[in-house]
Each structure stands twice: as structure tokens, then as C-alpha cells.
Amino acid sequence: MTCYTRCGNGCCPNTPNPIWVFGQCNQGSNNVVNPITALSYGYFQAPTTGEVTTNTAIPLTLTTSRGTLITSGGADSVSLDAGTYLITYSVNALVPASGTLSTSLQLNGATIDGSTATTTATGTFTNTKTIVLVVPQTSTLTLINSSTDTITVNNANLTVQQL
């Protein structure tokens, strides 16, 4: 562990948001470990609830971000620069008449392998999925209703973090 300059009753790190770790540090104070923070991230949330037809993007709005690699691509998409990303989504919706709630991620209009979450039941359920995605060039990411029927979305969110 690394201890930086002494200040007050502990050690001061060289970045904001330190993680304090108990132990020895310059005459018995605590050690500080600097956290790893993403260079770029974006948090997107459904601006409204409502029906989303089959194979249609679930509307998302950028609510929090850092950096320039991840931006809003409009009311229903995310613009990503080339890079590697950790992507997590959650969709809370009423299972459609077919009995299967299915949601997926698409990159430039093509479904991403391993990004589909499916629930077979009745009532309201939440689909969640986390993937690591390598994006070779500037691309558009969308979260879609891949069910065979229209779904009623109660809440949806998408987090994209540069690795």
C-alpha cells in the first residue's frame, strides 16, 4: 500500500475519493489506496414508461456521464468510440402475451452475442445482463425489445463504462 503526504490524522492521497485502509502509515495513521476510476462512463435511464413494440429500441436518456467516449446517440441510442466497455442493463417490464420477456443489445443494428436476457413467466419482471464489449470503431449501441410482442416498460437503465 502507498501512503502519500501526511495531513491531519491520516494520509492524503494524490487523487480525490481515496479508499482508506487500516494499517501503519507515517507514525501509525491509516494507509490510502487510490481507486481505479473509469476514464469514461455513461448512465442512461428510460425517460418515460410505456409500450415498446417488438424489435424496437427502448428509449433511454443520458443522465450522468464522464469523458467523451460514451455519449447520447439520440433518444434511443448510445454513441461509443472505439474501445472496450463493461455494459450493464436492466429492464423492468410487463411480460407480453406470448409469455416471454426478451431484451437485447444491438451494435450498429446487429444483436450482440450473449447480450439477450429472457424471462418466461406472467406478470412484471426485470431482465438484467452484463457484458464486456470490444468496439472496433465509432458505433451505435441500442437496448431493444427482442420479445415477439409489445412490452410495457416500467423502468429501464443502461450503464456503459470504459475499461
For residue 39, the model assigns a pLDDT of 80
The beta-strand segments (E) located in the chain are 6-7, 10-11, 19-21, 31-33, 41-45, 50-52, 56-57, 61-66, 70-72, 78-80, 83-94, 100-107, 110-111, 117-120, 124-135, 139-145, 151-162
Q: In this structure, are residues 116 and 147 in contact, taking their beta carbons and an 8 Å threshold?
A: no
For residue 38, the model assigns a pLDDT of 55
Q: Per-residue pLDDT tens for 45-92? A: 998 889 999 999 999 999 999 999 999 998 799 999 999 999 999 999
pLDDT band at 8 (very low <50, low <70, confident <90, very high): very low
d(CA 153, CA 36): 34
d(CA 67, CA 127): 28
Q: Per-residue pLDDT tens for 92-149? A: 999 988 899 999 999 999 999 999 999 999 999 999 999 999 999 999 999 999 999 9
For residue 106, the model assigns a pLDDT of 98
Cell of 43: 448512465
pLDDT band at 35 (very low <50, low <70, confident <90, very high): low
The domains of the chain are located at 1-37, 41-162
For residue 159, the model assigns a pLDDT of 97
Mean pLDDT is lowest, of 11-15, 41-45, 149-153, for 11-15
pTM, two decimals, is 0.76
pLDDT band at 33 (very low <50, low <70, confident <90, very high): low
Looking at domain 41-162, does it have CATH number 2.60.120.40? yes
Give the distance, in angstroms, between the CA of residue 36 and the centroid of all CA atoms in the same chain: 17
